[in-house]
Amino acid sequence: MARSLSIKKKHMRNRNRFILTAVFSCLVSVIFSQGLLDKRISLDVHRQRLDDVLSIISDKAGFTFSYNSQILKRDSLVSLSASNRTVRQVLSSILNDQYEYKESGNYIILRRVALKLTTITEKTPVTDNTYTISGSVLNSETGEKLVNVSVYETKHLVSALTDQDGRFELKLKSRYPTASLAVSKYAFEDTTVTIEPKFNMQLVIAIVPVVDTLFVSVPNVYEVVDSSIARTKDTVPAAPVAVVEKTEVEQTAVAKFLLSARQKVRSLNLKKFVAEKPFQASIIPGISTQGSMSGQVIHNVSFNLFGGYTGGVNGIEIGGLFNINRKDVKYFQGAGVFNVTGGSVTGFQGAGVTNAALGNLRGFQGAAVANYVKKDVRGVQVSGVSNMAGGELKGVQVAGVFNYATRNKGVQIGLINISDTSDGYSIGLINIVMKGYHKLAFSTNEVLNTNIAWKTGSRKFYSILQGGMNLGNNENDKAYSFGYGLGTERKITSWLTINPELSTQYMYLGSWDYTNLLSKLHLNLNIQPFKRFRIFAGPSLAVYYSDQELAIHGYRASALPASYHSFSTGLDKTRGWIGWNAGVAFF
């Protein structure tokens, strides 16, 4: 019996321990699962700054506040006495019902309660031919009145920009049975509002920022307030960051000068909006049949008396002085002075002075002075001074002075031709390929014992600038030369190449009154014993024209060496012979 009682008492003790353990575990679980907003604190402050009060709350409860500094008046004064109140209750007493709170890890994120997107404050029927839609546009998160917001009717392209007070006004025609307003601003989401025709309306429209202002972590871009390190600009989970990509054509010098600030703002706001119309006519940008929305409209036929600014062309455009387009141009564009296109050109683009396309070219671009294509060229550029292709050239550039292509896979013809890389041909006095063929050569031959040549371009095709002279003590053997040539390199092995080269030099033999021209075709064999150094030698065919019959004292009588047998070419005053060439090259 005693044994039975002992066992029973033992079971009772075990059961009590189990109950106590369970109760304790529940209490611990409740304590540790308690949300940040449910933590209890006591607070007694008098006329302290709001941001300082938030720091005190975060210190007492052991968490960090995160909020956009623009939505709070941090320097407002707070007086509050609270005892054993939850954080949520304290915040509600301070911030009222204009803000909401969200827990994220050890942060409490404060955000303004979003405004209702559209509110009709006044509505009056009208019997006139027009009715008026007016109102204001606000930031849905901060309540701030927004300036330079585009408000427009999408079908008939009636538009307005909000003023400094965020207000706008539009007059619409009553004869149309339906209407809708679009509201756009860079860094904000587009908003559409359906309108009931034949009613004057007063609206309050709230638009939403593109980027959620509380869940993007971007360091040192936008002021974010972290209550644990108040008034700093560090990385915390908040930052209203929206990357605003400006339309490129508005950033060109001519557009900055010729377009108004309101036109540039509209283009920035309405970057995604494009309409199509068959025809437009302009006197100058802003005075056109499409009014202030001309930069958002692509036309089949566009005529600009002095100049125009349109969304693009899908047909023909003619400008007395200039044409400026935000997007692509097809298929013909002509201007008396210049064309500037924000997109690509397909077809013909011609101007009296200059053309610029910020996209690609597929066709022909001609100007008296300069052509510029930011990206690839698949066609022909012809200008009196310069052509530029910022991308790949698969076509032809012809310029009076200068051609440039980042990657040349076509043909450049000009005085100076430059490219970064080349798999094409550059024909000019100076051809430079930045990552191409560069050689400095020193040589001797049967005519002049000392020669220097600079060879640049590509292995497929390079140019040669050269000069030479006779060095020595023979006072009657002086001669000088300078000239130009072209060459190509054909690889035989990794260390052996053959280089055919054709050159023409002017030979100075004591007087500039005579013409002495020496043309040579070289066939040099190049051996490369180690990197950046070559030894070359080979035969040459020389053809020499000279109208100088008498020798000048101290100078040679002829480029033809006295010991060489020459042959007649059948041309007057022209002889030929077989010569040689040998030297070294560096780089």
pLDDT digits (tens, 9 = 90+) for 110-166: 887 766 678 888 899 998 999 999 999 999 888 899 999 999 998 888 999 999 999
Enumerate residues 6+ apart whose C-beta is below 8 A from 526: 489, 496, 497, 498, 499, 534, 535, 536, 585
Mean pLDDT along residues 173-177: 91
Which residues pair with residue 66 across a beta bridge?
A: 109, 226
Contact indicator for 458, 434 with CB cutoff of 8 Å: no
Q: Which residue has the higher pLDDT, 229 or 484?
A: 484
Cα dihedral 356, 362, 366, 369 sign: positive
Amino acid at 113: V
Give the C-alpha distances (Å, rounded to integers) separating 400 from 178, 352, 395, 426, 516.
Answer: 58, 15, 17, 14, 27
Phi-psi region of 9 (alpha: psi -120 to 50; beta: other; left: phi over 0): alpha
Residue 30 has pLDDT above 80, yes or no: no
Percent helix, strand, coil in the chain (nearest 5)? 15, 50, 35
* Dihedrals phi, psi of 510, to nearest 5 degrees: 105, -15
Q: What is the pLDDT of residue 228?
A: 40
Q: What is the pLDDT of residue 33?
A: 45
Cα dihedral 284, 290, 293, 299 sign: negative
pLDDT tens digit string along 322-363? 999 999 999 999 999 999 999 999 999 999 999 999 999 999
Which residues pair with residue 454 across a beta bridge?
A: 440, 465
Cα 346 to Cα 149: distance, rounded to the nearest angstrom:
34
Q: Residue 68 — very low, low, confident or very high, per pLDDT cuts 50/70/90?
A: confident
Mean pLDDT along residues 180-185: 94
Cα 134 to Cα 501: distance, rounded to the nearest angstrom:
77
Q: Give the CATH architecture of domain 437-586.
A: Beta Barrel (2.40)
- How many CB atoms neighbour CB 578 within 10 A? 13
Contact indicator for 349, 365 with CB cutoff of 8 Å: yes
Residue 238 has pLDDT above 50, yes or no: no
Amino acid at 513: D
Q: Which residue has the higher pLDDT, 379 or 58?
A: 379
First and final C-alpha spacing in the chain:
111
Cα 112 to Cα 97: distance, rounded to the nearest angstrom:
9
Q: 118-207: which CATH topology?
A: Immunoglobulin-like (2.60.40)
Mean of the per-residue pLDDT values of the chain: 87
By CB neighbour count within 10 A (0-12 exposed, 13-18 middle, 19+ buried), where does 391 fall?
Answer: middle
Q: Residue 229 — very low, low, confident or very high, per pLDDT cuts 50/70/90?
A: very low
Contact indicator for 100, 113 with CB cutoff of 8 Å: yes
Q: What is the pLDDT of residue 34?
A: 60
By CB neighbour count within 10 A (0-12 exposed, 13-18 middle, 19+ buried), where does 490 fall?
Answer: exposed
* Listed range (22-26, 291-295, 353-357, 456-460) with the worst mean pLDDT: 22-26
Q: Residue 102 — very low, low, confident or very high, per pLDDT cuts 50/70/90?
A: confident
Amino acid at 309: Y
Cα 424 to Cα 412: distance, rounded to the nearest angstrom:
8
Mean pLDDT along residues 179-204: 92
Mean pLDDT along residues 48-71: 87
Cα angle value 474/477/480 (rounded, 5°): 125
Enumerate residues 6+ apart whose C-beta is below 8 A from 170: 132, 133, 134, 151, 152, 153, 158, 159, 160, 181
By CB neighbour count within 10 A (0-12 exposed, 13-18 middle, 19+ buried), where does 281 fall?
Answer: middle
Q: Residue 227 — very low, low, confident or very high, per pLDDT cuts 50/70/90?
A: very low
Which residues pair with residue 427 across a beta bridge?
A: 413
Cα 68 to Cα 110: distance, rounded to the nearest angstrom:
8
State the pTM of this model. Answer: 0.74
Q: What is the pLDDT of residue 321?
A: 98
Q: What is the pLDDT of residue 12?
A: 54
Residue 29 has pLDDT above 90, yes or no: no
Contact indicator for 586, 533 with CB cutoff of 8 Å: yes
Which residues pair with residue 184 across a beta bridge?
A: 150
- How many CB atoms neighbour CB 190 within 10 A? 16
Cα 204 to Cα 122: distance, rounded to the nearest angstrom:
10
Residue 250 has pLDDT above 60, yes or no: yes
Amino acid at 104: S
By CB neighbour count within 10 A (0-12 exposed, 13-18 middle, 19+ buried), where does 567 fall?
Answer: exposed
